[in-house]
Structure 1
Amino acid sequence: MTASPLSVGTDYETLANRFRPLFRKIAAGTLEREQARELPHEPIRWLKQAGFGAVRVPIEYGGSGASIGQLFQLLIELAEADSNIPQALRGHFAFVEDRLNASPSPERGAWFARFVAGELVGNGWTEVGAVKLGEILTRITPHGDKYLLNGAKYYSTGSLFADWIDVYAQRSDNGADVIALVHAHHPGVTQSDDWDGFGQRTTGSGTSVYVDVPLSAEHVIPFETRFKYQTAFYQLVLLAVLAGIGRAVERDIAQEVRERKRVFSHGNAETASGDAQILQVVGQISAQVYAAEALTLRSAEPLQRAYVARLAEDIEAERLANIDAEIETSKAQVVVSELILRATSDLFNALGASGVSVSKALDRHWRNARTAASHNPWIYKARIVGDWAVNGTAPLYVWQIGNSLKAG
C-alpha cells in the first residue's frame, strides 16, 4: 500500500470505550505503584495488547484512525488513571506522528505494521554533562553497509518499556543530524531507571548508553525531514498529563469530602459534604480542571491542520498551521500549568490534617504536576507568544538545551 490515507478521526466514545476498562484497571494500582516506585510494566503491556499505541495509525493499515485531538482526549483520560504512563508513551506517539507525516514508502508501511502489532518506541534525545548548547556527542559511524551508534542520553522517558528507541545523533562522516532507530533490547544498549525527580517517578526515565549498536541504513532518518510540529506535539503530551492530573484531583477531593466524618466546630454544616465553603473549594477546582482540559484540546486543533496540510502538500496552509500549533500550545502551557498547580495545592483547603497522610499520597498530584510543568519552562513560552503578538516573530520549531557556550 503506497497511498496516504489520513487519520482524521473516528467516533470518540466508541474508541474510548475500548480502553476505559483498562484505564480503570490501571487506576486501581496507581497509588501502590507510586508508594513503591514500581514501574508500570504490566499496565503498559495491557495497553500494547489492546492496540493503544496504534490509535493514530490509519484504519487502512489496521489502526484506529484517531485524530490528534482524539489521541489527546485519550491521553487525558489515561493521565487521570496514572499520569506517568502518558508521559512514558510521549516518545512513542511522537515517532508515530513522524511516520504519519512521512512520504508513502514500504518502510513507512512496515512501521505502521509494527505499531499495530503493539511495538512501542522510546526516547533518546537529551544529553547532560559536558555538552555545550547545540552540541550532539552521540554519533553514528559508517561500518560497511551499516552504521554503529555510540553515545549516552538522559531523560530517556519510556525507553525501559520500549521495543525501539528514537535516538537523536550526528553522523561522524559528514556532521549531519539524524534520527537513529535502535532495537531497545540489543546487548549494546544499557538502560537505567536513575531519574531522581520528586515527581513523575515511574515514567521509565533515566540514562541510556549505546555502545557499538548496529543500525541498518533504513533506520537512519535525516533530522531535517522530522515533522514540523514536533515541539508543539511534545508539549501537548505534557498538557494532557497536567489536565489528567487535574481530573484525578477533582475525583479524589470529591471522594475525600463525600466520605469525611470529622467536622470543625466553627464550620458551616454538620457534614463536610454539606459545608458551603468546602463545596466552594471543590467547585473552584472543578472549574479550573474544566478550563485546563478545554485549553489542552483546543490547542490540539492546529496540529491536526498541520498534519492534513502536510499530506495535501499545501505548503502555505502547513506553514500557518505550524505557527498556530506552537503559539497555541505555548498559550495553553502558560495557563494550564498555573490552573493545575493551583488545584493540586488548593485541594488540601477542603481537608483537615488527615489529608496530608502519606497513606493517601495526595501530595503526588502536586509533585507530578510541578514536574510536568517544569519541562520546557513556560516563562520562555510566554515571551515567545508576546513576541509573536507584538512583532510577528515566528516561533522556533526546534530548540536545544546544554551548557552555556561561555561556561568553563
Structure 2
Amino acid sequence: MATLSQPETKRSIPASASLSRGANYQQLAARFRPVFERIAAGTLEREQRRALPYEPIQWLKEAGFGAVRVPVESGGAGASLPDLIRLLIELGEADSNLPQALRGHFAFVEDRLNAPADASRERWFARFVAGEIVGNAWTEVGSVAIGEVQTRVTRDGERWIISGEKYYSTGTIFADWIDVFAQLDEDGRNVIAAVRADQPGVTRSDDWDGFGQRSTGSGTTRFDSAHVEAEHIIDFSTRFKYQTAFYQLVLLAVLTGVGRAALRDVSHEVRARRRIFSHGNAPSVARDAQVQQVVGEIGARVFAAEAATVQAAEAAQRAYEARFAGDAHAEHEANIAAELDSARAQVVVTELILKATTDLFNALSASGTSEVRRLDRHWRNARTAASHNPLIYKARIVGDWEINRTEPPYAWQIGAGPGGAAAAVEEPVAEQSAA
C-alpha cells in the first residue's frame, strides 16, 4: 500500500556551504543578459498579438535560469534572494510577464531549499538544473468559503490521485510540474501535491481575462484523477515560513521591471521626437527643461522602487539563512522582519511605479497614446500586478506592528464570506500572494 510521509519532526541542517548565500552578481547577470535582450526584442510584438511566451520561457530554461537559487554543490548558481530579485527585475524590464510566469516555480524552489537535506530534495535540485520548471495551481473560485479546499488528493489502490479545478494558475501552461494546493481526503490535512503537467487528467487553459499581464500563462487548470507520487505529496505545515513575503517580492520585481521599461521607453521616445509645441521651452523636446523634469522624476521613482525591493529581499534572505541556524527565536524574528519589509515595500513601490507609468505620457503628449507603441501596457501591467494583494491591508498590518507589535499573518486565504455572496476570486496563501 502506498504510504504518505508525515511532517518532519526534526530538521536536517545542511552544511553552511550548501546554502545559497549569493554569487558575483555581475558575472551571474552576464550569463542571462543576452537572453533578456533577445526576449525584449519580441515583447512589443507578443503584446500586440497577445502571444504566450513559449520560446522565451524555453530560452530561460536552456540558460539555467530556473536553477539560480539551487546551491552550487548541486549544480546551481547559489544565488541569494537579492540576486534572484535583481535578475527578475532585469527580466521584468525585458518582459514583465515572464518573472510573474516563473513566480510559482521560484516559490517551489524556495520551499525545496528549506526542506530537509535528503535524497528527495536532491532529486528536485537535479530537475531544476536540467531545466524543468514548476507552475502554480492554488486558487479556487466561485462559492468556495474561506478555509475550504475542494481539490482533493485521494488514495486509489496502490497510488494517489488528485481531482479539482484551480484558477490564477500563473505559469502553469509552460510548466513541467504543477504545485497544487489541495486537501488529503483521508485525514483532511492541507498538502502540496507536485503533479506532472504532461499526463492524462491535467488540462491547462489560457483563459485569464485581465487587462494587463496578459501573457503570464495564467487561467484555469483542471485535475481529473491525475496521478501523484506519494513522495510528491508534501504536508503544507512544512511550507517555508516566509512564503508570503517571497511571493510579494516577485511582484515587487515585476513592478520595478515595469518601471525600468517605462523609463527606457519614455527616454527613447523623447530623444526621437521632432515635433515641438509653440509654447514649449526649447527647440527640441529633448532639451525642454519641463520634459526633462518629468523623465527625471520617473527615473527617481524607479530608483527608489528598486532600492526598496532589493532591501526587502535582503530581509527574506536573512529568514532563509535563519532557517538553518538552529535558533528558533532568531528564525521567528527573521520571518517577522521579512514579512514586514515586503509589506512596507509593497505600499511604496506600487505608488511609485503607478505614478511613473502614468507620468510618462506628460512627456510625450497625444502621440504617446499610439496603439503602435502600446506604451499603455506599462500602466496596465503595473496596475494588474499591483492589484493582487491589496496594499491597503498591508499598510494596516505594518501600522498594527508599529503601534501594537502585532505579528503579521504569514499565510492567508480568500473566499466567500459568511453569507456566501462574495465569490473567491484570488489565491489562498501562496498564490494568494501570487495573485
Q: Same fold (TM over 0.5)?
A: yes
Contact 1:330 1:381 in 2 (8 A): yes
What RMSD over aligned residues (CA atoms) do the two structures have, in Å?
1.0
Q: CA deviation at 1:335?
A: 0.4
Given candidates 22, 26, 30, the residue that maps to 1:9 is 22
**Higher alpha-carbon deviation: 105-114 or 305-314:** 305-314
- Secondary structure, counterpart of 1:141 in structure 2: strand
1:14-43: CA deviations, max 9, x gaps? 000000011000000000000100000000
Structure 2 counterpart of 1:280, from 281, 293, 310: 293
Deviation at residue 213 of structure 1 after TM alignment: 0.6
8 Å CA contact 1:7, 1:56 repeated in 2: yes
Q: Does 1:293 align with 2:317?
A: no
Task: Report 1:90-239 matches (<5 A).
Answer: 90-239=103-252
Equivalent in the alignment of 1:29? 42
Distance across 2 between alignment mates of 1:229 and 1:394: 13
Counterpart position of 2:372: 359
Q: Does 1:403 pair with 2:416?
A: yes
SS in 2 for 1:92: helix
Shift of 1:393: 0.4
Q: Which position in structure 1 is the counterpart of 2:395? A: 382
What letter matches 2:201 in structure 1?
G
Distance 1:129 1:352 in 2: 43
Pairing 1:315-394 to 2, within 5 Å after superposition = 315-394=328-407
Residue 62 of structure 1: aligned partner: 75
Question: Are residues 145 and 314 of structure 1, via their aligned partners in 2, closer, same or farther at CA, if it must alter by over 3 Å?
Answer: farther
- Return the offset for 1:2: 9.2
Q: Deviations over 1:66-97 (max 9, x none)?
A: 00000000000000000000000000000000
The offset of 1:215, in angstroms, is: 1.1
Q: Within 2, Cα distance between the matches of 1:92 and 1:258?
A: 39
Aligned equivalents of 2:61, 2:326: Cα separation in 1: 32
Question: Mind listing any 5+ residue stretches in structure 1 that lack a counterpart?
Answer: none
Cα deviation for residue 317 of structure 1 reads: 1.3
Aligned residues of 1:238 and 1:372 also touching (Cα < 8 A): yes
Name the TM-score, length of structure 1 as normaliser: 0.99
Deviation at 1:313, TM superposition (A): 2.3
Distance in structure 2 (CA, Å) of the matches to 1:142 and 1:282? 60
CA contact (8 A) 2:344 2:394 kept: yes
Q: Secondary structure at the match of 2:416?
A: coil
Return the match for 2:279 from 266, 280, 283. Answer: 266
Q: CA deviation at 1:143?
A: 1.7
Distance across 1 between alignment mates of 2:199 and 2:169: 16
| Identity %, equivalent residues | 65
For residues 302 and 265 of structure 1, the distance between their equivalents in structure 2, rounded to whole angstroms, comes to 51
- Distance, in Å, in 2 between the alignment partners of 1:339 and 1:306 is 26
- Between the aligned partners of 2:295 and 2:320, the Cα distance in structure 1 is 38
TM-score by length of 2: 0.93
**Partner AA of 2:182 in structure 1:** A
C-alpha distance after superposition, 1:87-124 (max 9, x if no partner): 00000000000000001110000000000000000000
Secondary structure (helix, strand or coil) at the match of 2:323 reads helix
How many angstroms apart in 2 are the aligned matches of 1:118 and 1:89? 12
- Once the 2 structures are TM-superposed, how far is the Cα of residue 3 of structure 1 from its aligned partner? 4.0
Residue 7 of structure 1 aligns to which amino acid in structure 2? S
> Contact (CA 8 Å) 1:145, 1:217: kept in 2 or not?
no
Q: 1:359: Cα distance to partner?
A: 0.1
**2:313 aligned partner, one-letter code:** A
2:431 alignment counterpart? none
Q: CA deviation at 1:285?
A: 0.3
Distance of 1:129 and 1:290 partners within structure 2: 40
SS of the equivalent of 2:154 reads strand
State the alpha-carbon separation in 2 of the partners of residues 381 and 309 from structure 1. Answer: 24
- Paired residues in the alignment total 408
**How far 1:352 sits from its partner (Å)?**
2.0
The one-letter amino acid paired with 1:147 is: W
Structure 1: distance between partners of 2:31 and 2:206 = 31
The offset of 1:144, in angstroms, is: 2.4
